Amino acid sequence: MAIVIDASAMTDTEIVNLVRGLSLDIAVDLKGFTSDARPDIFLDRIAPLQVSFVGYPGTWGAACMDYLIADRVLANPVIEKFTVDVDGAGE
C-alpha cells in the first residue's frame, strides 16, 4: 500500500512521530544533503532499515543509513573501499 503525505509544512519531530506511527519496515531517503533535505528525520531512526537512494550522489557518512543503493558511476573507486557489493554485479 502506498501512502503519500505532504509533510513540507510539518516539523521534523511531527514527521518522525507520524512515520513511527505507520510502523515502516524500510525508509528510503531521496534527498541526502541537497536543497530542502530533512536529514534529522533519518538521524532519529524512523525505520529499522534506512536506505539512501540516488537523490544524493554519495554516502551520508553516518551510521543512521544502513545501505546506499548505487550504480557503478556512483560507487566509483573513490568510495569503493567503503562499500560492499551485495549482489555480485560489480565483479
pLDDT band at 20; cut points 50, 70, 90: very high
Question: What is the pLDDT at residue 53?
Answer: 84
Higher-pLDDT residue of 38 and 70 is 38
Look up the pTM and report it: 0.74
Instruction: Count Cβ atoms below 10 Å from residue 67 Cβ, excluding itself.
Output: 15
